[in-house]
Amino acid sequence: MAGRDVSAVRQQLNAPVGFQNALRLLRSAQKSAKGAPIYSLYVNRPLGRVFAAAAFQVGLTPNQVTAISAAFTFTGVLVLALAPASVLTGVVVAALLVLGYALDAADGQLARLRGGGSLVGEWLDHLTDSVKVVVVHLAVAVSLWRGFDVRPAWLLVPLVFAAASSVHFFGMILVELLARVERARTGAPAPVLAPSGLRTALKLPMDYGVLCIAFLLLGWHPAFLALYTFLAAGQTGYLVLVARKWTRDVASLES
């Protein structure tokens, strides 16, 4: 985590960690904003801070927050798959997914506020994310099949989206893990990413928060299908580009 360690900031303040103090501590010890998706940076992280501070006040653990996040997310997925593809369904699904995503940001922030996370907590968080990025698109496929007047070929769009999302998530985690292991072996410092507006813009179609908001259009079938297809194409195109970069990055680790 870039930024100051939360426990060190707590010692400097030497004050009880109430809700407002917790928010202040979390703001001062955030991850780097470089390359972060727009929704994550300006919406999800601030929401996550509020939930993390509130969870700290009531004594929740990071793993409990992860479980609550999963409950919101997978309830939204079930509603998407089983309820009619209406305006109301879209609003409910978007709200549940947005809350689940914000709580997903909160569990890591809560762990830092409590003095550090655990390997089990990190594993549970990544396991939940790996399921989420696939099943949400499978639920879209079910919704298209049940409630949209479209040809069967359109079902390929959420299936491709699910595959691209899963491969991207796995590739990102594995490249980060390989780089971390190699730096630990050699003692090399972590690379510093230069700010890039282009990188941020390219990540917009694959921003999970944008996907959550897109479900507000679920009741307007042509509009939702057009936006969803655009996001699927963006995710797939970005995966092709970033896979080439990952290959170069891993090759540079060996050299």
Mean pLDDT of 104-116: 84
Residue 11 has pLDDT above 60, yes or no: no
Interval 163-212: pLDDT, tens: 999 999 999 999 989 988 888 888 777 766 655 566 666 677 778 999 99
Residue 234 has pLDDT above 60, yes or no: yes
Averaged confidence pLDDT in the chain = 85
Q: How far apart are CA 170 and CA 162, in angstroms?
A: 12
Amino acid letter, residue 122: E
Distances (CA, A) of 9 to 12, 169, 182, 199, 243: 5, 32, 30, 31, 38
Q: Which of 52-56, 76-80, 98-102, 147-151 has the lowest mean pLDDT?
A: 52-56
Domains recognised in the chain with CATH numbers: 6-254 (1.20.120.1760)
Residue 14 has pLDDT above 60, yes or no: no
**Structure tokens given for 53:** 């501070």
Q: What is the pLDDT of residue 12?
A: 45
Mean pLDDT of 217-246: 95
Q: What is the pLDDT of residue 198?
A: 64
Q: Rounded to a whole number, what is the distance in angstroms from the first to the last CA of the chain?
A: 26
